[in-house]
């Protein structure tokens, strides 16, 4: 039964992506003015880094373990605030064919080029997602969000930004890889510091 739901989830994602491409083409036909740099920055797009860099959308969505729901991360630039805005969007698999509007679960912003929502993973309870989150600061932490209770929880508190993470299916155990801390080049204990006196 779970495999059947997972298959339905993948079919729903395919239908959604096909419909999105058709809508984009229709909008392009209706456009009567040249596209500006401002337009491209404000354009809502998939947050998949490969897609943002001009590649194919390889990581379009994440299906829940039971296959009944899936989430998509979207991004757009906000020129007024000088931030990148990210949204976590939820679809119910069974509602895709009915053109039901998705639910916006979470909006987060980043003031740097870091993704405010990245590496989304479902936990086995089918109601909690984990991700690397950056809230208007240049530091990412492992974060979880419960769809039922709307509880947003920071799981890690590392002094540098996380590069990647892994979490157990029940959410009780996790591991992460973080950036090394900045080191003072004038610190004599720093083996990479080689200060030289000017002649």
pLDDT above 60: residue 168 = yes
* Percentages (nearest 5) of helix, strand, coil residues in the chain: 25, 30, 45
Range of the structural domain that residue 42 is part of: 2-178
The answer to whether position 194 is within a domain reads: no
Question: For the chain, what percent of residues have pLDDT higher than 70?
Answer: 71
Can you give the pLDDT at residue 71? Answer: 93
Domain count of the fold of the chain: 1
d(CA 164, CA 76): 23
d(CA 39, CA 150): 32
- The pLDDT, as a whole number, for residue 142 is 79
Would you say residue 41 lies in a domain?
Answer: yes
Residue 61 lies in a domain: yes
The answer to whether 147 touches 131, Cβ cutoff 8 Å, is: no
Query: Is the per-residue pLDDT at 64 higher than 50?
Result: yes
Q: Is residue 65 part of a domain?
A: yes
Give me 117's structure tokens: 């929502």
Give the mean model confidence (pLDDT) for residues 6-11: 61
- The pTM assigned to this predicted structure is 0.74
pLDDT per residue over 120-129, tens digit each?
999 999 999 9
Residue 94 lies in a domain: yes
- Residue pair 123/107 in contact (Cβ under 8 Å)? The answer is no
Tell whether the model's pLDDT for residue 31 goes beyond 50. Answer: yes
């Amino acid at each position: 039964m779970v495999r059947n739901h997972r298959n339905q989830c993948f079919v729903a994602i395919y239908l959604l992506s096909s419909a999105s491409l058709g809508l984009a083409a229709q909008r392009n036909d209706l456009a009567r003015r040249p596209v500006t740099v401002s337009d491209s920055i404000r354009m809502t797009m998939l947050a998949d880094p490969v897609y943002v860099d001009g590649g194919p959308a390889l990581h379009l969505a994440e299906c829940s373990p039971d296959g009944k729901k899936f989430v998509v991360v979207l991004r757009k630039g906000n020129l007024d605030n000088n931030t990148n805005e990210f949204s976590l969007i939820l679809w119910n698999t069974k509602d895709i064919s009915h053109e039901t509007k998705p639910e916006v679960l979470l909006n987060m912003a980043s003031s740097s080029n870091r993704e405010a929502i990245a590496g989304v993973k479902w936990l086995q309870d089918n109601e909690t997602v984990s991700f690397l989150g950056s809230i208007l600061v240049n530091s990412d932490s492992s974060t979880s969000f419960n769809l039922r209770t709307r509880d947003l929880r920071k799981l890690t508190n590392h002094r540098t930004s996380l590069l990647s993470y892994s979490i157990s299916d029940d959410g009780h155990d996790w591991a992460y890889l973080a950036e090394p801390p900045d080191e003072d080049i004038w610190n004599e204990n720093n083996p990479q510091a080689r200060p030289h006196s000017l002649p």
